[in-house]
Amino acid sequence: MKGKVLAVKKIISTLLVAAFVMGALAGPAPVAAADPLTANYSATPEKGAIEFALLKGFMWKYPDGQFHGEDQISQGQFVSSLVAIREVKEGEPVPQLPEGHWAKATYERAQKAGILAGVEINPNKLLNKEETALLVFNAWKPYRGVKDKGFTNTGALVTWGWMEPAPPGNPKFREDLPVTRAQAAVILRKMWQDKYQIELGEKYALEFHNSLKVKDGYLTGMVPKGDKVLHLSVQFFKKDSGKIVPFSKGQAFRVKIDDFRAMAFFATNDLDYSIAAVYDYIDLSVLERKKNTQLFSK
Amino acid sequence: MKKLRLLRKFLHLLVLITLFWSMFEGYFPNVTQALNTHGIELATVGSYKELIPRDGYTKIKIERIPGELGAHLSEIEIDGVKDTENVLGFSDYYGKTDRGWYYVDLNEAKYWVNRFGGNPNYILGGGAANVYSSIVSSTNETSGVNPYNAYNLAELATASGGGGYEIGDNLVPRDGGYISVGHFRTTQRPTGGVKIKDNQTKFKINDTVKIIPHGKDYSYYDRGIIITHLSVINKTTGRGYKSLDSNQEIRDNSGYLEKPSATSNPKAFEWTGEYTYTPTEEGLYEVTFIMTDRHMRSRQGSPTINESTPYTVQFMVGDEVPPPPPDPPEEPEPPAVCTINQSSTKMDFQIVGDDVKDYSAVPSGGSSIMVEKNADITLFASKNGTFTMNGIEMETGSGNNRKRGIGYFGSSGTYRIVFKSDDGKDCWEKTFQVKADSKEESCPIITISGTTYRNSDTLEVLPERTVYFQANFRNSNGDTETAYVLWDVTKPDGKTVTLPAYEEEVGGRKKIVEIPYYKLELPFRGAREVTLERGKQYKVKLNFQGTNWKDRPECAWEITLVVKDTACTITEQHKLKLKIYGSPPHPFSPGGEDADWTVYEPIYLKHFTSNPDGSYETNLSFSANAPGTWFLIKNNKRVPVSKALTANEKFDLTLPDDFDVGDWVTLEFESDIGCITQFKFEIMSDRKCYNLEVAMIRYGTYDDYLWKKEVSRGETLHLTQEDFDSKYRPQFLTRGEKTEFTMHWLDPDTQQWTARRNGKWLSTSNTYNYSHYFQFPTDPDSGEVLEGLYKILFWTDNGSDANGPVLDCEGSIFLQIGASNGENLLIVKNSFTITPKDPQLPGTEATITFQVRNAGKTMHDTKLAVRWESSDKETVLDVNQFKPGETRKITVPTQYPQESEDFIAHINPSRNKPENESIWTDNRATWPVKVLRVIELPDPPGGGEDFDGGEIGLELYDSDGRKLERIGLHVDGVWEREPAKIEVVIDQTKINEGFQRTQQSINAKITEYKEQLEQFASEEGAKNIVVTAQPGWISDAKSMAVYTPALLDLKVSGPGIPQQWQVSSSSRGGEYIYTGTSVPTQTTWRQTLQNQKYLAEINGFQIVMDYEIVFDLSFDRCTQNNEDEGDGEEICEASSFTRSMSGRYTITVTGGTRTFEVFEPNATGSIHHTAEWIEYHARDRYRQSQPHDFYAGERILTQVELQDRHRHPVSGKYPVVESAASWIYETGKRQTLLQSRLSLLPITANKWRGPNYQASKLGSREVGVDTPLMGDKQRGFQKDARYAVYFNIQFRFGVNKGYPYPNKQQFSGHDQADYRIPFRIIANAWERQGIRNHTTQ
């Protein structure tokens, strides 16, 4: 052929640099509308975490227009951020706060979302690491379950990698250290990203699920094409050998049901390899799925 | 791999004391544990350092570590030496990140802690060391992996006093990919001591004694020591005990940190303390100091890592010398342990491959020695010890000579041989590397006009044709290179010329030079001209002058070139002309057009018709102006495609199914007289080409159309006079490219396209443009457009290349004015729809609709056939009452086919309703329908086989080297107590055959599956197909071999002493000496003494070769971009798959058994009278004397004899008698002890008698066993009493038979009658007159 062959190859950039890199914290928040969603996904969440928090609207500046990242974060501020990330709409009564309290609406929504379980309500309280970590685990129970029982909230969150260990010279899991607003922004950004990938993973898992059809002893389906953030794949486990027959994103398949013991769908973050969604299909002929996305404690 | 997470542990205060250790003693034995993969499908590290096959291995998570991981086999180096055990490495799934860990399960952890020199009880005994396990499981539940607890290897190393480090990314190339190698360092255990200040040994009561303990720790991390115990006691009185310190942790707080690396050695942390003690009474005092490092490692010189031997010091208090104390126990010197890196041991060895090489006094360590593959090695140490090769004990020398080590190298790989002497003082280590096969350059490979010809081939060529030779060869890397050679051509007259040769001017004189070149063309013009004359023979030979092939006779190459004797002359050749015929949609004249070499109108695949068998009707015909045959040339093959034709006879060209868009079709015509000419054309695709529009536009306007119709290439537009209007003029428009055009009319008489009608030129363009006006010729009277078939041939300006003008989207459209000659039913091509819209999964229910039109003048009842291209059955629908001018919508319910293909509709397929159709191409339409590609990759063949590796041979030898015979009923054997040599023979021939067959079988599977994958991809219509296998080839199955068990048990059981040896299953066997033949099983005359025989047995083994081959298939799936962006380009999307093939081959070698006997040596004793006494007995008054009746005082001669029955039943040899004796031990008269003992001497081979002496007057006489006292009248033998002579015989190997003097109870031997001969005393010799007793002779 004399025609020019244009090979369109998938390019995954391992570093999708956030589209906005601002030096100072002053100045207006950048405009988000033009940014594709995936561009906000950074494999290095520490970078630009504050800008990200402002952009996504889960943290706010002080009335003086400054962020004051060095200040210790208050319970009210952090709970507001969690409510924003969780996108909680409804509330449940919080009698501890008087009517008209500035934080009442936020706390009512947090209450509904289970974020306040075991938390002494005091919006002005400045948070230490243990208190912060407890709120994180409360807020994240619907996504990643409960924390590992053998650890304090701090220990579990540090081990999971969402909280920095104590500075050298301290016990690694020291609980009473203050959490600054900048440190909170880093944690919140990781949470935002985790939620984003989990929701994306769920979406693709459902898309995959809906593509499955059983006919004449064969299972057909298609692994969704996905996007640049998630790698989607399906593994079939052979009956006799336990060997794996894989299919990855964009591939349609047709397999003989009798040959396989089970199948599983995986959505894995291509940037940091965190697990966005895992579903097991134990009986290929009935296509029931069981969620097995990684939890904090397993 | 990846950063090792080195978590430094913080030791909490340790409360364990030495006493505790004993409770754990032996709790964690030093276990060697084979790698357990826990059901995980492992990944390998591919050539881009990524885990492969992507998605084809188990997705793993480790508790508390977020993210998806994959496991891969990894190696571990400890202190620079590769360990024999592997571990699992875990890295980010598919990623090339720096995250990765080595995790080991509990069993493996015990092994590794031991290897790291750590204290397993402390580290794995329940969290004291802050080392915790994590659960490793698969991300999903259904993978078949059972979750298990695992330890981070780096943490184990740190807790053992050592540490891990990286070399680069820890990845080392292996088998086309990489393998992760973890690096760890260990440190020595702590040292210490205790002394009294100034080494003072004597004190007075109430003096202050200053006690100074000290300790050193060498660990990398968590440095410091623990004082387990420090106390004083008065040993003399047992009083005065004082604990000075206990369970005290002394940390290194200096901040000193030496990072582990290949060369680092942390300096010792040193601690010295001072304690005081005031003795209050006299006595000998002892100070006890027990310490460990902070990793609970006992001090050097301790018997175990758990139990730290105390350091002690003593001092004396008082003047009185107390009772002498026991000597203070000497501090046991730690055994002189030889360490490999400080060894001064040297070694001699010999390596026998194709060459024999002797090495002497080779020092330990250093660079590795290259050896030939499959070579043998014998090492010679100066003292007994153990040789190991890659951790497996090597064979010893014959007779269990432990100064020798014998081993064998495989065909590849690295072998580490270690020697350790039994006394621990010598050690030596060396690495040997098997040399890779050095490949030789191949001989030149010659291709002639694209086909390879071998030596002595004959080649027929046509005259007037150029013959192209080319020489290539494969270099030592296997790559193809051109070979620069000279060519000797022998002409028909016998003269040989060397080519290529050129004239050159050297120093003003012309000279012919020969220049080696990889190509040669015949005929050769120039200085040495070679023409190829018809009917003659030429020889062409490679001339290797000046090349390396000169000395390689196997590279000789010579062929015969026969020039065909044909009658084709150049004139005839020039006369030869070809014609091409076509009709719409092809642009060629139905009456034929001259075709010289090629044509300049594009030939589109779309205008071919596919037959159900996949071949194509090109709808093109060809003819030549001479009788002859047409051939199709493809892949250097020339296949006839026509029968023998007469001059100008047409043939219709059908192409086989393997032609496709982009292929060049080369047709060759060979006339009967041997003239040859070719015609070539490219099959083109118009899929990316825009459609054209034909319109009728009002004069003077830009967008006022009477009508506008889209027309594709080759399509015929049917127009009637009603379609024309005098205010409008015809226009045709192109999108995307500017074109020029010419218009032609088909002259019905000549069936030729002509650019003129009625003498007037038809429209042409004058410049490239997007739209053109054109005109039809009109009737000058009526003004009506002249009816007929017109063609508009248009082209773009894309220049030319070597093959002619570049035809991109050129083409023709046809315009039929007025009725054609007959009726016409047609399919409206652009009316096609499929719902749901393509692409869809195969089998999806769908509805297809399209339109058919009756463009004729009559109503018809006709048929419509529809089918998918792959289907050989069509569905025929009735189209009844089809009115002229009617357009009818057809709806076809169907399913999406299995793969993308065309849907075909054909109206009036039988051409019988009506019969007089003329333009049949519009009655048939094909529409491409895309189907989502469903992947059903073929499964890899995989699997394995079990090959017979034969049986282990057991041969037995006696101590004289006689091989015991394998005989049926009666079994061969050795003498009692004789050592038997057992030779174990593991037949390598059968095993090697198994390796060979395994290798062949796996390689066949690799080839087979690669072909299947390629086939799969090419059936998918893919491009740039690349299939790789990793490893791509098994060059030596032996390198994968795991011998199970590694050590075989050779046992000998039986009534004697059982013995057992271990034989390496990877060895060729060896020789072993069995010395337990203490209990005989048979007499030499085969009388059974023991029912149980001796049994030598060795267990069988299996050689297991597990393989895993990872196949990567990648290709580009290309589709035409039909979207409206209009660039018309092909869009290719890269697609890739990975499949892994695994299986297991085994070679089973069965064990062997061998029974053997142990024969009891025996002999017979007897007693005799002297010749004189025989006479006396015969004639005296005791005529009735019986045999064995003796007179007291008569000489008793004794004899031992080996009889025939005493021979070895197989070898026939007599047992070796080392000594024989006879004796008497009786009580005579008056309770007199009568005793004598006589050693017998051999007198013949099988007889032993008493010694001779010279008696005066009587000459030589034999000594008897009797003594004079026995003949004494008062005290000697008593008349009528019974006595006995006893025999004692000593055979070889320390076997005694008979009765040992003077014990009559202790008998050994088969029959006591052989060793105890009773006799009766009938009288005293003195009673007999005239007879002298033996004392008087």
Contact A273 B92 (CB under 8 A): yes
* Alpha-carbon distance B145 to nearest alpha carbon in chain A (angstroms): 10
Q: How many CB pairs under 8 A join A and B?
A: 164
Contact B662 A1 (CB under 8 A): yes
User: Of the residues B1127, B1156, B1185, which one is the last residue of a structural domain?
Assistant: B1156
Quote the pLDDT of residue B325. Answer: 43
Quote the pLDDT of residue B1332. Answer: 52
Give the number of other CB atoms < 10 A from CB of residue B1086. 13
Give a yes or no: residue B940 inside a domain: no
Task: Give the chain A residue whose CA is nearest to the CA of B801.
Answer: A2
What's the pLDDT band for B1181 if we cut at 50, 70, 90?
low
Whether residues A133 and A259 fall in one domain: no
Quote the pLDDT of residue A22. Answer: 32
* Alpha-carbon distance A108 to nearest alpha carbon in chain B (angstroms): 31
Question: d(Cα B270, Cα B250) in Å, to the nearest integer?
Answer: 10
Give a yes or no: residue B325 inside a domain: no
CB contacts under 8 A, A 239-278 vs B, are: 242-248, 250-255, 261-264, 266, 268-269, 272-275, 278
* pLDDT tens-digit readout, B1121-1176: 554 444 556 677 777 788 888 889 999 999 999 999 999 999 999 999 988 888 88
Residues of the domain holding A141: 37-198
B5, pLDDT greater than 60: no
Which residues in chain B have their CB less than 8 angstroms from residue A169's CB? none
Give the number of other CB atoms < 10 A from CB of residue B1337. 11
Whether residues B110 and B252 fall in one domain: no
Mutate which of B6, B140, B930 to disrupt the A interface (most A C-beta within 10 Å)? B140
Whether residues A77 and A185 fall in one domain: yes
CB contacts under 8 A, A 182-221 vs B, are: 213, 215, 220
What's the pLDDT band for B215 if we cut at 50, 70, 90?
very high
Extended strands (E) in B294-426? 311-317, 346-352, 356-363, 369-371, 376-380, 385-389, 392-393, 395-397, 401-408, 414-421
Whether residues B970 and B924 fall in one domain: no
Q: Who's near B663: CB < 8 A, 6+ residues apart?
A: B682, B683
Whether residues B877 and B908 fall in one domain: yes
User: Of the residues A198, A231, A259, which one is the last residue of a structural domain?
Assistant: A198
Whether residues B250 and B149 fall in one domain: no
For tokens 């390019």, the residue is A11
Q: A278 burial class (0-12, 13-18, 19+ CB within 10 angstroms)?
A: buried
* Alpha-carbon distance A46 to nearest alpha carbon in chain B (angstroms): 17
* Alpha-carbon distance A148 to nearest alpha carbon in chain B (angstroms): 8
* pLDDT tens-digit readout, B289-321: 999 999 999 988 887 888 888 898 999 998 755
Give a yes or no: residue B468 inside a domain: yes
Which residues in chain B have their CB less than 8 angstroms from residue A235's CB? 55-56, 59, 140, 143
User: Of the residues B877, B902, B929, which one is the last residue of a structural domain?
Assistant: B929
* Alpha-carbon distance B67 to nearest alpha carbon in chain A (angstroms): 4
* pLDDT tens-digit readout, B771-822: 899 989 988 888 888 888 899 988 877 655 555 555 577 888 888 887 655 6
Quote the pLDDT of residue B570. Answer: 72
Whether residues A246 and A147 fall in one domain: no
Whether residues A181 and A213 fall in one domain: no
Give a yes or no: residue B654 inside a domain: no
- HEC per residue, B141-201: CCCCCCCEEEEEHHHHHHHCCCEEECCCCCEEEECCEEEEEEEEECCCCCEEEEEEHHHCC
Whether residues B306 and B351 fall in one domain: no
Listed residue (A228, A230, A221) closest to A251, CA to CA: A221
Give a yes or no: residue A268 inside a domain: yes
Strand-pair category, B1295-1298 with B1316-1324: unpaired
B140, pLDDT greater than 80: yes
Which residues in chain A have their CB less than 8 angstroms from residue B95's CB? 273
Give a yes or no: residue A25 inside a domain: no
Highest averaged pLDDT of the listed ranges A159-168, B125-134, B520-529, B681-690: A159-168
Which residues in chain A have their CB less than 8 angstroms from residue B92's CB? 273
Give a yes or no: residue A24 inside a domain: no
Whether residues B1106 and B972 fall in one domain: yes
Contact A233 B55 (CB under 8 A): yes
Residues of the domain holding B1131: 946-1156
Question: d(Cα B35, Cα B38) in Å, to the nearest integer?
Answer: 9
Whether residues A113 and A231 fall in one domain: no
Whether residues B78 and B55 fall in one domain: yes
- Buried b vs exposed e over B392-404: b needs ≥16 C-beta within 10 Å? bbbbbbeeeebbb
CATH code of the domain containing B218 = 2.60.40
Whether residues B703 and B789 fall in one domain: yes
Quote the pLDDT of residue B3. Answer: 35
Whether residues A266 and A231 fall in one domain: yes
User: Of the residues A166, A198, A230, which one is the last residue of a structural domain?
Assistant: A198
Quote the pLDDT of residue A47. Answer: 67
Whether residues B1202 and B1085 fall in one domain: no
Question: d(Cα B851, Cα B887) in Å, to the nearest integer?
Answer: 6
Task: Give the chain A residue whose CA is nearest to the CA of B64.
Answer: A160
- HEC per residue, B855-916: CCCCCEEEEEEEEECCCCCCEEEEEEEECCCCEEEEEEEEECCCCCEEEEEEECCCCCCCCC
What's the pLDDT band for B1179 if we cut at 50, 70, 90?
confident
Whether residues A50 and A147 fall in one domain: yes
The encoded tokens of residue B1039 equal 């390198």
Whether residues A123 and A214 fall in one domain: no
- φ and ψ of A189, to 5 deg: -65, -40
For tokens 């894995």, the residue is A268
Quote the pLDDT of residue B1074. Answer: 94
Whether residues A45 and A183 fall in one domain: yes
Distances (CA, A) of B635 to B561, B666, B802: 22, 10, 21
A287 touches chain B (CB under 8 A): no
Whether residues B373 and B508 fall in one domain: no
What is the number of residues in chain B?
1337
Single-letter amino acid code for the residue at B340: I
Highest averaged pLDDT of the listed ranges A124-133, B320-329, B434-443, B716-725: A124-133
User: Of the residues A165, A198, A231, which one is the last residue of a structural domain?
Assistant: A198
| Window from B106-120, B603-617, B642-656 with minimum mean pLDDT | B603-617
pLDDT along chain A (298 residues), means of 10: 31 28 34 41 69 87 85 94 93 90 92 94 94 96 88 91 86 90 92 92 93 88 86 89 83 88 92 89 89 87
Q: What is the mean pLDDT of chain B?
A: 84
ipTM score of complex: 0.81
* Alpha-carbon distance A276 to nearest alpha carbon in chain B (angstroms): 9
User: What percent of chain B has a predicted confidence (pLDDT) above 90?
Assistant: 29
Which residues in chain B have their CB less than 8 angstroms from residue A10's CB? 1134
Q: B1232 burial class (0-12, 13-18, 19+ CB within 10 angstroms)?
A: middle
| Window from B352-361, B416-425, B465-474 with minimum mean pLDDT | B352-361
Which residues in chain A have their CB less than 8 angstroms from residue B686's CB? none
Question: d(Cα B1020, Cα B803) in Å, to the nearest integer?
Answer: 30
- φ and ψ of B419, to 5 deg: -120, 135
* pLDDT tens-digit readout, B578-595: 899 988 888 888 888 888
B1223, pLDDT greater than 90: yes
Give a yes or no: residue B569 inside a domain: no
Which residues in chain B have their CB less than 8 angstroms from residue A261's CB? 142, 144
CATH code of the domain containing A274 = 2.60.40
Which residues in chain A have their CB less than 8 angstroms from residue B1142's CB? 243
Give a yes or no: residue A57 inside a domain: yes
Which residues in chain A have their CB less than 8 angstroms from residue B842's CB? 220, 254
Contact A9 B1134 (CB under 8 A): yes
Question: d(Cα B1188, Cα B1284) in Å, to the nearest integer?
Answer: 10
Strand-pair category, B1059-1064 with B980-985: unpaired
* pLDDT tens-digit readout, B395-408: 888 778 888 888 88
Give a yes or no: residue A47 inside a domain: yes
Cis? peptide before B266, omega within 30° of 0: no
A13 touches chain B (CB under 8 A): no
- φ and ψ of A132, to 5 deg: -65, -45
Whether residues A80 and A193 fall in one domain: yes
Quote the pLDDT of residue B98. Answer: 60
Please state the domain count of chain B.
9
Give a yes or no: residue A29 inside a domain: no
Give a yes or no: residue A11 inside a domain: no
* pLDDT tens-digit readout, B894-911: 999 888 888 999 888 877
Quote the pLDDT of residue B747. Answer: 85
Question: d(Cα B325, Cα B339) in Å, to the nearest integer?
Answer: 38
Contact B934 A252 (CB under 8 A): yes
* Alpha-carbon distance A294 to nearest alpha carbon in chain B (angstroms): 7
A34 touches chain B (CB under 8 A): no
Give a yes or no: residue A176 inside a domain: yes
Q: What is the mean pLDDT of residues B252-274?
A: 89
Please state the domain count of chain A.
2
Whether residues B1192 and B1127 fall in one domain: no
Whether residues B1100 and B951 fall in one domain: yes
Give a yes or no: residue B10 inside a domain: no
Q: What is the mean pLDDT of residues B223-246?
A: 88
Extended strands (E) in B275-345? 275-277, 283-293, 311-317
Which is more confident, B433 or B204? B204
* Alpha-carbon distance A261 to nearest alpha carbon in chain B (angstroms): 8
Give a yes or no: residue B13 inside a domain: no
Q: Which H or E element spans position B620?
A: strand B616-624
What's the pLDDT band for B1329 if we cut at 50, 70, 90?
low
Whether residues A185 and A106 fall in one domain: yes
Q: Which residue of B97, B934, B1134 is in closest CB contact with A254?
A: B934
Give a yes or no: residue B1333 inside a domain: no
Whether residues A137 and A48 fall in one domain: yes
Q: Computed from CA positions of residues B228, B234, B238, B241, in that sequence, does the dihedral angle turn out positive or negative? A: negative
